[in-house]
């Protein structure tokens, strides 16, 4: 009798110990942020096509398991999607800069060489703004308002916290104990997306319903930063285009997602504050085993070939940030820097992913068809790398 009660108690005790483990073990992928988790039910979410799978967890949160669309490859070789800090064996179509050479000089030389002769697109409004206001900047070092003279337009461009910079895995300080970086609301759909050719880049600005605006938190960030817009920097060929240089490699394109500190009411309000902005930088590399659409949103670029043009992507065609960058689970660099165009405000915490996204040759050609105010092709719209001075770069 006594033995039976003892066994009964033992079973009860085990059940009590195991119960919470069983109900919680599906939650292990949700980082413990200590803050309230977003409730997806209150927000519209997007349905993904066949390449994205959803996983239902214990709290009713739907967390899509994202993989960038990569077409199936029939051969036995496969693309390495687990690329992290690059080692010497990583295959990439990028330019290698010899150690010790001055990267600024090197890339300026390349830029001049690859410059396209301007062809007028016929519209009078395509004339450069320099004629009117005198504040227009140029990416061409030979121009009066080229990168080394930007400080004449905006004094901060001559500061000691400027971006972009060279990122080096070996010299960056590794942060061992880190909070996960999270992009909350990454699957939210906006009301519309305004795509704009602003004369220097193709910019996607989302129009949000109240409460739907995504934000980034964790990692090096002390507060939430709300998403404002994203835009790109690209080259005239696949050996150049990115602004940051990773271990002496330049990529053909770089995406910038701009966020502003939630302590301020808007991007305009935050941009001048010391902790005002976060820019997430992501490199692209060419996916050369397939030449169709990998990034469906690139189809809209043809709508803004004309300088100063704007195209509104209606709700039915909108896409979440998730469709552009996927999960934010990559290793990255972080440092204190600036906007990479005038006014070069030194209020940016940079987060630059070490894992490139993929784009096909056909898609990047869509970028290279876009035109500038002078009628030339918009390309090589990247600023030369800036001196680090006494800043430290962290690796997460
Ligand atoms: Zn940018």
Ligand 1 center–CA 359 separation, angstroms: 18
Q: Which of 53, 54, 200, 249 is catalytic?
A: 200
Distance (Å, whole) CA 260 – CA 267: 5
**Residues 394, 333 contacting (CB under 8 angstroms):** yes
Question: What's the 269 CA to ligand 1 centre distance in angstroms?
Answer: 19
User: Whose CA is closest to 325, among 283, 290, 381?
Assistant: 283
Residue 178 lies inside a defined structural domain of this protein:
yes
Mean pLDDT of the chain: 77
Residue of 240 and 294 predicted with greater confidence: 240
- Give pLDDT, residue 66: 40
Top-ranked range on mean pLDDT: pick from 35-39, 271-275, 372-376: 271-275
Determine which of 29-38, 184-193, 380-389 has the lowest per-residue pLDDT on average: 29-38
In a domain, 247, yes or no: yes
Q: Are strands 95-96 and 249-250 parallel, antiparallel or unpaired?
A: antiparallel
Mean pLDDT calculated for residue range 244-266: 98
pLDDT at position 347: 98
> Is 106 inside a domain boundary?
no
Contact criterion met (CB below 8 Å) for 207 and 191: yes
Match 């302590």 to its residue by tokens: 263
pLDDT for the residue numbered 209:
96
What is the Å distance from ligand 1's center to 233 Cα?
A: 6
pLDDT given at position 7: 55
Distance 244 CA to ligand 1 centre (A): 10
Task: Count the neighbouring beta carbons within 10 Å of the beta carbon of residue 211.
Answer: 10
Q: How confident is the model at residue 10 (pLDDT cuts 50, 70, 90)?
A: low
Residue 20 domain-assigned (yes or no): no
Residue 12 pLDDT: 53
Q: What is the CATH number of the domain that holds 316?
A: 3.10.200.10
C-alpha 315 – ligand 1 centre gap (Å) = 25
- The most confident of the ranges 57-71, 243-257, 277-291 is 243-257
In a domain, 27, yes or no: no
Residue 244 among the catalytic residues? no
Residue 136 has pLDDT above 90, yes or no: no
> What's the gap in Å between 3 CA and the centre of ligand 1?
73
Q: Is the pLDDT of residue 303 over 80?
A: yes
Distance from the CA of 279 to the center of ligand 1, in angstroms? 8
Number of domains in the chain: 1
Q: Tell me: the pLDDT tens digits for 81-114? A: 333 443 333 333 333 333 333 333 333 333 333 3
Residue 14: the pLDDT is 57
Expressed in angstroms and rounded, the spacing between residue 334 Cα and the centre of ligand 1 is: 16
pLDDT tens digits, one per residue of 336-395: 999 999 999 999 999 999 999 999 999 999 999 999 998 899 999 999 999 999 999 999
**Which residue range forms the structural domain that includes residue 286?**
151-379+390-395
| pLDDT category of residue 77 using cuts at 50, 70 and 90 | very low
> How far does the centroid of ligand 1 lie from the alpha carbon of residue 383, in Å?
9
pLDDT reading at 306 higher than 50? yes
Is 7 part of a structural domain of the chain?
no
Is residue 92 included in any domain, yes or no?
A: no
Which one is predicted more confidently, 79 or 159? Answer: 159
DSSP letters spanning 222-253? SS-EEEEEEEEEE-SSTT---SSEETTEE-SE
116 pLDDT more than 80: no
Ligand 1 midpoint to CA 160 (Å): 18
């Amino acid at each position: 009798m006594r033995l039976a009660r003892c066994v009964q108690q033992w079973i009860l005790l085990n059940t009590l110990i195991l119960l919470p483990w069983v109900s919680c073990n599906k939650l292990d992928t949700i980082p413990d942020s200590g803050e309230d988790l977003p409730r997806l039910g209150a927000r519209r979410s997007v349905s993904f096509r066949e390449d994205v799978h959803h996983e239902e967890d214990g709290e009713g949160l739907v967390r899509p398991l994202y993989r960038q669309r990569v077409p199936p490859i029939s051969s036995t070789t496969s693309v390495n999607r687990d690329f992290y800090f690059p080692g010497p064996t990583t295959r990439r179509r990028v330019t290698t800069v010899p150690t010790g050479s001055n990267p600024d000089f090197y890339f300026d030389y390349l830029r001049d060489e690859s410059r396209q002769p301007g062809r007028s697109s016929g519209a009078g409004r395509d004339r450069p703004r320099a004629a009117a206001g005198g504040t227009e900047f140029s990416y061409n070092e030979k121009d009066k308002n080229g990168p080394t003279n930007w400080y004449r337009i905006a004094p901060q461009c001559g500061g000691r916290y400027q971006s972009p910079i060279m990122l080096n895995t070996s010299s960056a300080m590794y942060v061992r104990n880190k909070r996960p970086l999270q992009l909350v609301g990454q699957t939210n759909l906006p009301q519309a997306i305004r795509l704009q050719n602003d004369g220097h880049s193709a910019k996607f600005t989302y129009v949000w319903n109240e409460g739907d605006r995504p934000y980034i938190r964790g990692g090096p960030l002390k507060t939430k930063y709300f998403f404002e817009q994203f835009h790109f920097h690209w080259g005239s060929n696949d050996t150049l285009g990115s602004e940051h240089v990773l271990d002496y490699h330049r990529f053909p394109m770089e995406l910038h997602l701009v966020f502003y500190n939630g302590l301020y009411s808007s991007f305009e309000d935050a941009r001048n504050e010391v902790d005002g902005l976060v820019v997430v930088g992501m490199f692209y590399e060419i996916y050369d085993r397939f030449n169709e659409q990998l990034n469906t949103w690139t189809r809209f670029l043809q709508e803004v070939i004309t300088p100063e043009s704007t195209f509104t992507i209606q709700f039915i065609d909108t896409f979440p940030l998730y469709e552009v960058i996927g999960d934010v689970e990559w290793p990255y660099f972080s440092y204190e820097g600036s906007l990479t165009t005038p006014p070069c405000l030194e209020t940016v915490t940079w987060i630059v992913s070490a894992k490139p996204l993929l784009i096909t040759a056909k898609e990047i050609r869509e970028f290279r068809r876009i035109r500038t105010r002078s009628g030339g092709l918009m390309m090589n719209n990247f600023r030369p790398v800036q001196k680090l001075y006494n800043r430290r770069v962290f690796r997460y």
